[in-house]
């Protein structure tokens, strides 16, 4: 199994654990860190809608907890034609990934498209 296959399977499994009773739109994400760890996240909705957390945001939180701060590659899995990260998550990914990092977007059957972080978020916000 390649690393990319492992990321896809990890994201797909994470998606199964998503808490999405309101939208019924489950998403899973898997991050490969530069340190070689594979870290998963799933979306967690809330009755107060904006308080929910996207799969990518959950994975980033878990990555930080695991002591990693650099993203090497990302896979996002959702049951949609093109489940790209939302605008907020693009900025969250940029915080920990350089513009060349690949973000693979998958449906339940496999990866459908691959973007770089810079393609997903041109002219992203930078404080420094
Ligand atoms: Zn998001």
Domains of the chain: 3-120 (3.40.140.10)
Residue 99 has pLDDT above 90, yes or no: yes
89 labeled binding residue: yes
pLDDT tens-digit map of 63-81: 999 999 999 999 999 999 8
36 burial (CB, 10 Å; 0-12 / 13-18 / 19+) is exposed
The structure tokens listed for 123 are 């002219």
pLDDT mean across residues, the chain? 97
Indicate if 56 belongs to the active site.
yes
Ligand 1 midpoint to CA 84 (Å): 9
Instruction: Decide which of 128 and 106 is more confident.
Output: 106
User: What pLDDT, on the 0 to 100 scale, is given for residue 1?
Assistant: 86
Q: What percent of the chain has pLDDT over 90?
A: 97
Q: Are 18 and 55 in contact (CB under 8 A)?
A: yes
Residue 101 has pLDDT above 80, yes or no: yes
User: What pLDDT, on the 0 to 100 scale, is given for residue 86?
Assistant: 97
Catalytic residue among 9, 16, 51, 56: 56
Mean pLDDT of 81-96: 97
User: What pLDDT, on the 0 to 100 scale, is given for residue 128?
Assistant: 77
φ, ψ dihedrals at 48, nearest 5°: -90, 90
Ligand 1 midpoint to CA 1 (Å): 28
């Amino acid at each position: 199994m390649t690393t990319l296959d492992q990321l896809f399977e990890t994201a797909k499994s994470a998606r199964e654990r998503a808490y999405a009773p309101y939208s019924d739109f489950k998403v899973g994400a898997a991050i490969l860190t530069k340190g070689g760890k594979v870290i998963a996240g799933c979306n967690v909705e809330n009755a107060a809608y904006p308080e929910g957390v996207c799969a990518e945001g959950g994975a980033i939180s878990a990555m930080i907890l695991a002591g990693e701060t650099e993203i090497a590659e990302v896979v996002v899995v959702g049951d949609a034609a093109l489940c790209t990260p939302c605008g907020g998550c693009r900025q969250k990914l940029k915080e920990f990934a350089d513009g060349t990092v690949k973000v693979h977007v998958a449906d339940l059957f496999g990866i459908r498209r691959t973007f770089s972080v810079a393609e997903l978020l041109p002219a992203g916000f930078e404080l420094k």
